[in-house]
Amino acid sequence: MLNFYREIYTARAENKKLLAILIDPDKFEETRTESYLKSIPESTSHIFVGGSTVENNKTAQTVKAIKTETNLPVFLFPGDHNQISEDADVILFLSLISGRNPEYLIGQQVKSVSKLKNTSLEIIPTGYILIDGGNISAVQRVSNTEPIPQFEIDTIVDTALAGQYSGQKLIYLEAGSGAKLPVSEEIITAVKKAIDIPLIVGGGIRSIQQQKKAYDAGADMLVMGTHFEE
The CA distance from 181 to 195, in Å, is 23
Q: Residue 203 CB, nearest distance to ligand 1GP (Å)?
A: 4
Residue from 125, 134, 178, 218 touching ligand 1GP (CB under 6 A): that is: 178
Q: Which is nearer to ligand 1GP, 51 or 65 (CB)?
A: 51
Residue from 66, 76, 121, 224 touching ligand 1GP (CB under 6 A): that is: 224
Please name the amino acid found at residue 87. D
In the three-class reduction of DSSP (H, G, I as helix; E, B as strand; rest coil), residue 69 is classed as helix
The CA distance from 24 to 215, in Å, is 24
Q: Which is nearer to ligand 1GP, 98 or 113 (CB)?
A: 98
The reply on whether position 177 binds ligand 1GP by CB under 6 A is yes
Residue from 88, 179, 214, 217 touching ligand 1GP (CB under 6 A): that is: 179
φ, ψ of residue 93 in degrees (nearest 5) = -90, 90
Could you tell me which of 65, 188, 58 has the C-alpha nearest to residue 47? 65
Q: How many CA atoms lie within 13 A of 179 on its CB side?
A: 26
> Looking at the chain, which runs of residues are DSSP E strands?
18-23, 46-49, 74-76, 90-96, 122-130, 170-174, 199-202, 221-224
Q: Which is nearer to ligand 1GP, 14 or 203 (CB)?
A: 203
Residues of this chain, 198-217, that bind ligand 1GP according to CB under 6 A:
202-205
How many residues bind ligand 1GP, per CB under 6 A? Answer: 14
Q: Which is nearer to ligand 1GP, 64 or 227 (CB)?
A: 227
Q: Residue 145 CB, nearest distance to ligand 1GP (Å)?
A: 14
Per-residue DSSP letter, 21: E
Beta bridge partners, 125, equal 93
Beta bridge partners, 21, equal 47, 224
Encoded one letter per residue, x for contact with ligand 1GP by CB under 6 A and - for no contact, window 6-45 reads ----------------x-----------------------
Q: Residue 42 CB, nearest distance to ligand 1GP (Å)?
A: 18
Which residues of this chain interact with ligand 1GP, rule CB under 6 A? 22, 174, 177-179, 202-205, 223-227
